[in-house]
Chain A
Amino acid sequence: QAVVTQEPSLTVSPGGTVTLTCGSSTGAVTSGHYPYWLQQKPGQVPKTLIYDTSNKDSSTPARFSGSLLGGKAALTLSGAQAEDEADYYCLLFYSGSRVFGGGTKLTVL
């Protein structure tokens, strides 16, 4: 089974920009892995922010964007706000399975 890797923790200043990444043990992450990004705040249910690499709807704040960067999936937060402090998980699709990354704990400080 593939292993999906994320930064365990990151810190961003209010108003700053941060990029979270998501790598795969099988090689480069591509659009064929349909990368998802989910946000989970303490005590809450996970919520999808980005699907299929870079797609989102009006429920996702415009400051979040998804992309492929250097063989990984990436979630960029531009203009961080205190409310963005949360755990972020990426999800990759593999033939016959799905695999979550270990999650990134994002601190806004």
Chain B
Amino acid sequence: EVLLVESGGGLVKPGGSLRLSCVASGFTFDDAWMHWVRQAPGKGLEWVGLIRRKADGEDTDYSAPVKGRFSISRDDSKNILYLQMNRLKSEDTGVYYCSTLNHMDPWGQGTLVTVSS
């Protein structure tokens, strides 16, 4: 069974940085395209970005609001997905989920990021 566990969230000042992690199990991680999705308090879901599998070049794509500030990477030897977030803004506040966005796979519980002075 797919299991995703996010961590690394917390309180950070505007302009600061944070790295989120997502430990994956229950599926062939190195064969999966992986995504980050976020949800601001009381708002809808927002796709953040994706990283392709190594066989597809580990290429990444990002949504316009985070492009140039966020970076997704993966460590297939440890089954871990990362989200490096730089130059954080207050509007980046929310719960961050990792997901395969593949068929009926479940999502993780998410990790809360709060950007505030």
A46 CB contact (under 8 Å) in B45, B64, B103: B45
Q: Nearest Cβ in chain B — how far from A105, in angstroms?
A: 10
The complex places the Cα of A88 from the Cα of B64 at a distance, in Å, of 23
Decide: A99 and B47 in contact? CB cutoff 8 A.
yes
Decide: A51 and B103 in contact? CB cutoff 8 A.
yes
- B 51-101 contacts with A by CB, 8 A: 61, 63-64, 97, 101
**Chain B residue with Cβ nearest A99:** B47
Decide: A1 and B104 in contact? CB cutoff 8 A.
no
Q: Nearest Cβ in chain A — how far from B103, in angstroms?
A: 5
Q: Residues of B contacting A99 with CB < 8 Å?
A: 47
Given contacts A1-B63, A1-B64, A100-B44, contact A45 B104 (CB under 8 A): no
A residues adjacent to B (C-beta < 8 A)? 1, 36, 38, 40, 45-48, 51-52, 55-57, 59-60, 87, 89, 91, 96-103
